[in-house]
Amino acid sequence: MKKLSMSLLAAVLFSLVAENALALTGNEILKKAEEAMNAPRDRTATEKMILIKADGSAKVRTIRFYQKGNDKRLVIFLSPADVKGVGFLSLSEDRMYLYLPAFRKVRRIASHIKNENFMGTDFSYEDMAETRYTDDYLATLQQAQGKEGPGQYILDLRPRPGADVSYSRQKVWVDKETFILTKTEYYSPGGKLIKVLTSGNIKKVDGYWFPMKMTMETLKTAHRTVLEVVEIKHDSGLADRFFTERNLKRQGR
């Protein structure tokens, strides 16, 4: 009996050691989340954008979103008339462009204004361009607390030395099954929580997981921007030349 007990104890200890050896670090989880976000060769989505004020009044817009690989993103406003044709192009975090049909000109987004809101939404230009979290942030895996634990990794992100980012910290929740980010808290340079992004209705489309609804809220104003996917498709063969200043202007006409 004593020999059996020792064998059982050894088996339990071995299991715990093996489990710890297989446990992912914060940076490894963040990398997997990044890979999940950028998994398809390309993505095209039509989305309903709802801007909601604190009093409940709302504006509805329609956008088309294109993505290729880790860096290339292009957004075109389809409606209503006052924003139709406005376009945004991101080739990296320091190469972003805005097209305004009224001026028929593409202008580059200066680095010092990338933390400003994009077209009256709660997303900044930096938020729109962020695709490589591991380039800018170091992640620490936190212990789950209360209801936050089941099925979620919780990561504390801090800027890498020299990273050109506007946030002093991000706290993110990552779904353990899909590695999709389900919630992100954004903190100001002074350490104050300023915005919260929540993602839900995660579905598998063309073999890729994607949140079909995202809501960004600015806490100070209680203003929200809701993005709801109307149609989405992957790996349609978007060419690199689609993501150019020239095509940004063409798409906005």
Reported confidence tier of residue 7, pLDDT bands at 50, 70, 90: low
Report residue 165's pLDDT band, with 50, 70 and 90 as the boundaries. very high
- pLDDT of 129: 86
The whole-model pTM stands at: 0.87
Does residue 197 have a pLDDT over 70? yes
- Taking CA atoms, 31 is separated from 88, 95, 155, 239, in Å, by 26, 23, 12, 26
d(CA 150, CA 18): 21
- Report how far apart, in Å, the C-alpha atoms of 76 and of each of 16, 62, 64, 85, 253 are: 51, 9, 5, 6, 10
Instruction: Provide the mean pLDDT of the chain.
Output: 89
Tens digits of residue pLDDT in 51-106: 999 999 999 999 999 999 888 999 999 999 999 999 999 998 889 999 999 998 99
Does residue 93 or residue 218 have the better pLDDT?
218
Q: Which domains does the chain have, with CATH numbers?
A: 25-251 (2.50.20.10)
